[in-house]
Structure 1
Amino acid sequence: MQRIFCCSLLCSALSAFSVSAQPNELPSASINLQTLNDFKPVGNNWKIVGDAFYDYTKEGKGNTKSGTGVVVNDLSGKSKDHLFTKMEHGDLELELDFMMETGSNSGVYLQGRYEVQLFDSWGVKVPKSSDCGAIYERWDESRPEGQKGYQGHPPTQNVSKAPGLWQHLQIVFRAPRFNEKGEKTANARFLKVIQNGVTVQENVEVTGPTRAAAFQDEKPTGPLMIQGDHGAVAIRNIRYKSYGIEPVTLTNMKLSAYEGKFKSVNDFASLTPKREMDLDVLAHQVPGSRDNFAGKITGTIHIPRSGEYLLYLNLPWIPAEVNTKVRNGAGELKIAGKKIMTIEPEDGGKASTKVKLEAGDFPLELAYYKNFGLWYARSNDITLAVEGPGVQYTTLNQMIRAQEPVGEISLLAKGEPVMQRGFINHRGIKHTHTISVGEPGDANYTVDLQKGEFLQIWRGDFLETTPMWYGRGETQLSVPLGSVIELSGKPSLAVMTDKNAAWPDSNATYTNLGYDIDKTGRPVFKYTLAGANVRESFTTEEEGRKLSHSFTVMNQPKEADIWCLVAEGNDITELPNGLYAINDKQYFIQLPGKEKPVIRSTAQNKKELLLPVKPNGNNGSVSYSIVW
């Protein structure tokens, strides 16, 4: 739901823009990769190109495509310089895409001093502090042999993709702190490192510059550096948010509490409160108050820097589902006496807005009411979060509640394939008749047995089953622990009258017949399709680096042309090495022999890669491999 508020304060001017029910983000700054102007003068090894191609089967055989948007390290000449940004930073949130050449080595150095390793770690079983996603070790020549390197931190798991595929890296970095004398008072810290959607480092303290840093001293700020003397790497989409050290604060909070059923925040504006109390956390903390209450929290909000801020408010007792006949609650936030945003019952308890604020201290008022509690939303806590210029997204005065200690219930595939039936979320939809298979080579996948759909693949650890097996199993979901690639979720096989017919979203002639277990412990799925009997299977190759997908079709009717949907994506490109890159090099498809697929566009502006099931008498077969 959208609302517009226009308001102004002449000296402490604030004006609110669109309010939405979902938290959005303030935009990141970008490093311009149309030229090298955002970087310090650099050697000839760094070049701006339109795209890069690295063949995962051959080392040192990369090539590039002319254009802009990608910076590559080309070591074919004599230059081996590092790449430094003109931008210097303290606390930083950084995002970028990277692509490794086969056997290559590089690194991202925060402040030019603290390295997150970039490496071709595809298929590594036990990652070390030299593998991709690691915080690289420090180095001291004076230490004994074998101990010169120290304090390295391997990634929690290896989720690296094949060379030649784009990977994603997110870093949340806290710079070291210094007092007025320039003495260090706190070490640098990597709050998070997220590779391909998986947190591989969290809250890691770094006591000093890591090995091969550009600077051996430590300072409050420094440039971002990409290592250029070790190996070829391509980088694109460099975005960042740089932060100061002064936060937004909310102080001097007081609560005026009211009792009764209300229909509006205006209903209690003139009432005498039943209780008044000081607060140090944002919550309706009146003893015994569970339902039928209202509150008004006042305080002072400190804004450290003028600019545009994002505010997010959540009253969790308001149900997400809409019942227009029942008003369970609402809320209203004011700053300096001006209304910033409201939450109505139909908003699902959430709202966010962007607002321009001047630096300074302003009175804040939050009014709200609650008429009844829901079984899934019993908490009377309130969430108010803020992000702004130089201010990281922060939840103000949050209530911290001790949760019942529950260890992660995980299912891992170490020595042999592991199967798990259960529920899986795919593109926001819960699938209830799925089987997930974990492979010892960390190439895992999920199939919907009810519909004959290939849902997802992932690299890394297998499943967390805590939501299934702990307590009542609230969501009943099994959650992949590795880096997930969601596939189309459409039927893998379908009958088509010709190769131009639209691919169906479901198969009316599909009947699931269960599955057998082969000698290796892997499932072989059985079903009928248009009168034909189908056996579908998956196997891993090259120690899990590839996942082979095969179909055998028996008693195929002569009048039925059965096709296989191999891949769907925004783009599908045939590469010089014969592979097909799917979705901007998210993964590769490898076809057997000289098989030529049908690549076509859909009405939804997608691309599809199709293979026919080639009949041999009454039987037929089709197969392909996924490389990622």
Structure 2
Amino acid sequence: MKLNYLRLGTTAFVWLLGTAIVSGQQLADQPEINLNDLASFKTPGQTWTLAGGVVANLNEQNALTFTKGTGVLVNLPTKKNNGSDLFTVGTHGDLVLELDYLLAKGANSGIYFQGAYELQLEDSWTKTTPLSSTNGGIYERWDDSKPEGQKGFEGYAPRQNVSKAPGVWQHLKVVFLAPRFDAAGNKTANAKFVTVELNGVQIHDNVQLFGSTRGGAKESASGPLRLQGDHGAVAFKNIKISKLNNEQLNSRRGGSDADPILIEAPVNTMIRSFVDISGGPRVVHAISIGSPQKVHYAYDLDNGLLFHAWRGDFVDATPMWDGRGNGSSRPRGTVTTFFKKPAPTLAKLADANAVWPVDTTGTSFRTKGYTVDTQDRPTFQYNVFGAKVTDQIRVTESGEGLIRSISTDKPVDNLYALLAEGSNIEDLGKGLYLINGQSYLKFEDPKTKPVIREANGKKELVVLLRGQLNYSILF
């Protein structure tokens, strides 16, 4: 089995502040953009509206449906109206922006800082090689006088593609430093994206912007936020704004002095280690499986539990192998957590609403490890309640997510499978469920009838296992 290792040195830098000249209503003077109405925006076009919730159609390009209400800003172009960009009334210089956005299938949008510098938003689900034009990219500048193939320049691709599926909320955090001008109006320092984080992963670090990106306004000390509205269906919510502080501007960054020990997965790759669940405990008998489709997952051998998956780069093994190490590794991409703490995947219940056991005590659980196919993909096996369980998890060919098949070699009465938990589980129809707004679960047989139940202040999706269960997880 091949493991590729890459060492990257840490970097450090110091920001030096120039003179900024700003005027007008400042966005950074307010904590958020109020989405109870559209008063924060200049003359919204007809395709922009407010909603209480929104859902994408995974089978249709640029299709969103939404419910009445407020709190979600939606742009839904039509064949008769391609839409228009939306500008804030307020302007900004230096800014920290955080928001959630959701894209329809095949949609394209963008956020122009000061109306000049575009950070691309695009349905880049499943793309393994990011470009400046894909989700999270800093869009190119443009010069029509240059030869064909050279007109676009100074675009910056994200470090990795950590985009989520259409219809899933994605989180963006941007620390932006405005350009500086002297009293005569001459630019003395370029604008910069100090840092850009997408879905919890840093994708840009200290990127200078030497001029406006294509379609952007002329550079100035202050300008509005501009949301692109003529390229597809998109929604925004939780638009938070704050000022830069001295720590963000003048900090030494880079983290540990150790060179990171990074494991790539150019082929199907496995690593055994401790793995920490986000917001939960450590899984001590975990195995992480990486794929060339840039879709990876981690499995708890003590419970037969698929507890999280991620998209992007594979594993950072620095905590495990640097110095004495602590035995743990961590995902490098954006993580979708399915369970906050370990629990058995299978249990015998009196009915679908009975209490789920916290461990495998009394189940005769015994792990049998796994077998590996010709492509180095594992199939997990264990015994429980006198039956042999086969648990096969595969990355879909196009990288949309995972396909899972759980089967037993003999019938077990009242044997249920716990497939998902979250604050919200929505039945979208035809065997498709939206889990916590972060992933989809789709049954191969749409006639499969799981139960959405309440348990300990959250919702759980459980289903009776009759010999074999096939479903996919899309994220």
When normalised by structure 2's length, the TM-score is 0.88
Give 1:332's aligned residue. Answer: none
Q: Partners in 1 of 2:254 and 2:203 — Cα distance? A: 26
Give 2:346's aligned residue. Answer: 493
1:439 equivalent in alignment to 2:291: yes
Give 1:455's aligned residue. Answer: 307
Provide closer, same or farther for how the CA distance between residues 403 and 551 of structure 1 changes in structure 2, counting only shifts above 3 A: closer
1:185 equivalent in alignment to 2:40: no
Match of 1:95 among 80, 92, 98: 98
Instruction: Return the offset for 1:600.
Output: 3.1
Provide closer, same or farther for how the CA distance between residues 51 and 182 of structure 1 changes in structure 2, counting only shifts above 3 A: same
Q: Partners in 2 of 1:400 and 1:159 — Cα distance? A: 22
Instruction: Return the offset for 1:492.
Output: 1.3
1:423 equivalent in alignment to 2:264: no
Match of 1:131 among 131, 134, 139: 134
Q: Partners in 2 of 1:28 and 1:599 — Cα distance? A: 44
Q: Partners in 1 of 2:33 and 2:404 — Cα distance? A: 40
Superposed CA deviations along residues 251-276 of structure 1, whole A, max 9, x for unmatched, are: xxxxxxxxxxxxxxxxxxxxxxxxxx
Contact 2:431 2:448 in 1 (8 A): no
Instruction: Return the offset for 1:452.
Output: 2.5
> 1:34-433 maps to which residues of 2 (within 5 A)?
34-76=36-78, 77-78=80-81, 80-213=83-216, 215=217, 217-243=218-244, 391=245, 393=247, 406-414=258-266, 416-426=267-277, 427-433=279-285
Question: What amino acid sits opposite 1:527 in the alignment?
Answer: Y
Instruction: Return the offset for 1:402.
Output: 11
Provide closer, same or farther for how the CA distance between residues 400 and 167 of structure 1 changes in structure 2, counting only shifts above 3 A: closer
3-state DSSP of counterpart to 2:42: coil
Contact 1:597 1:610 in 2 (8 A): no
Give 2:401's aligned residue. Answer: 546
Provide closer, same or farther for how the CA distance between residues 50 and 90 of structure 1 changes in structure 2, counting only shifts above 3 A: same
3-state DSSP of counterpart to 1:602: strand
Q: Partners in 2 of 1:104 and 1:181 — Cα distance? A: 42
3-state DSSP of counterpart to 1:29: coil
> 1:477-516 maps to which residues of 2 (within 5 A)?
477-488=328-339, 489-508=342-361, 509=363, 510-516=365-371
Aligned residues: 442
1:536 equivalent in alignment to 2:391: yes
Provide closer, same or farther for how the CA distance between residues 407 and 454 of structure 1 changes in structure 2, counting only shifts above 3 A: same
Give 2:470's aligned residue. Answer: 623
Give 1:527's aligned residue. Answer: 382
Question: What amino acid sits opposite 2:422 in the alignment?
Answer: G
Superposed CA deviations along residues 344-391 of structure 1, whole A, max 9, x for unmatched, are: xxxxxxxxxxxxxxxxxxxxxxxxxxxxxxxxxxxxxxxxxxxxxxx4
Superposed CA deviations along residues 374-418 of structure 1, whole A, max 9, x for unmatched, are: xxxxxxxxxxxxxxxxx455598x8999975x432211222x311
Match of 1:470 among 322, 326, 338: 322
Superposed CA deviations along residues 471-493 of structure 1, whole A, max 9, x for unmatched, are: 222x3211101001122132211
Provide closer, same or farther for how the CA distance between residues 146 and 186 of structure 1 changes in structure 2, counting only shifts above 3 A: same
3-state DSSP of counterpart to 1:468: helix
Q: Partners in 1 of 2:120 and 2:39 — Cα distance? A: 25
Give 1:588's aligned residue. Answer: 440
Q: Partners in 2 of 1:393 and 1:529 — Cα distance? A: 53
Q: Partners in 2 of 1:402 and 1:211 — Cα distance? A: 34
Q: Partners in 2 of 1:594 and 1:553 — Cα distance? A: 21
Question: What amino acid sits opposite 1:171 in the alignment?
Answer: V
Question: What amino acid sits opposite 2:54 in the alignment?
Answer: A
Structure 2 regions of 5+ residues with no counterpart?
Answer: 1-27
Superposed CA deviations along residues 110-144 of structure 1, whole A, max 9, x for unmatched, are: 11100100001111121111000000000111122
Higher relative contact order at CA 8 Å, sep ≥6: structure 1 or structure 2?
Answer: 2
Question: What amino acid sits opposite 1:162 in the alignment?
Answer: A
Contact 1:502 1:602 in 2 (8 A): no
Superposed CA deviations along residues 566-596 of structure 1, whole A, max 9, x for unmatched, are: 111111111256421011x210000012233
Instruction: Return the offset for 1:74.
Output: 1.6
Contact 2:64 2:76 in 1 (8 A): no
When normalised by structure 1's length, the TM-score is 0.67
3-state DSSP of counterpart to 1:467: helix
Larger Rg: 1
Provide closer, same or farther for how the CA distance between residues 595 and 610 of structure 1 changes in structure 2, counting only shifts above 3 A: farther
Superposed CA deviations along residues 446-495 of structure 1, whole A, max 9, x for unmatched, are: 1111232222111111101122122222x321110100112213221111
Give 1:33's aligned residue. Answer: 35
Q: Partners in 1 of 2:65 and 2:351 — Cα distance? A: 38
Runs of at least 4 residues of structure 1 off by over 6 A? 398-403
Contact 2:451 2:463 in 1 (8 A): no
Q: Partners in 1 of 2:254 and 2:197 — Cα distance? A: 26
Q: Partners in 1 of 2:303 and 2:63 — Cα distance? A: 42
Q: Partners in 2 of 1:571 and 1:175 — Cα distance? A: 39
Give 1:387's aligned residue. Answer: none
Q: Partners in 2 of 1:463 and 1:141 — Cα distance? A: 42
Q: Partners in 2 of 1:402 and 1:101 — Cα distance? A: 36
Q: Partners in 2 of 1:240 and 1:145 — Cα distance? A: 40
Contact 1:440 1:544 in 2 (8 A): no
In angstroms, what is the RMSD of aligned CA positions? Answer: 2.2
Instruction: Return the offset for 1:502.
Output: 1.1
Q: Partners in 2 of 1:478 and 1:437 — Cα distance? A: 12
Contact 2:303 2:345 in 1 (8 A): no
Q: Partners in 2 of 1:542 and 1:50 — Cα distance? A: 35
Contact 1:89 1:242 in 2 (8 A): no
Question: What amino acid sits opposite 2:373 in the alignment?
Answer: D
Q: Percent identity?
A: 41
Provide closer, same or farther for how the CA distance between residues 461 and 400 of structure 1 changes in structure 2, counting only shifts above 3 A: closer
Q: Partners in 2 of 1:400 and 1:478 — Cα distance? A: 22
Give 1:574's aligned residue. Answer: 427
Structure 1 regions of 5+ residues with no counterpart?
Answer: 1-25, 244-390, 615-619
Provide closer, same or farther for how the CA distance between residues 71 and 553 of structure 1 changes in structure 2, counting only shifts above 3 A: same
Superposed CA deviations along residues 514-541 of structure 1, whole A, max 9, x for unmatched, are: 1111233111111111111111110122
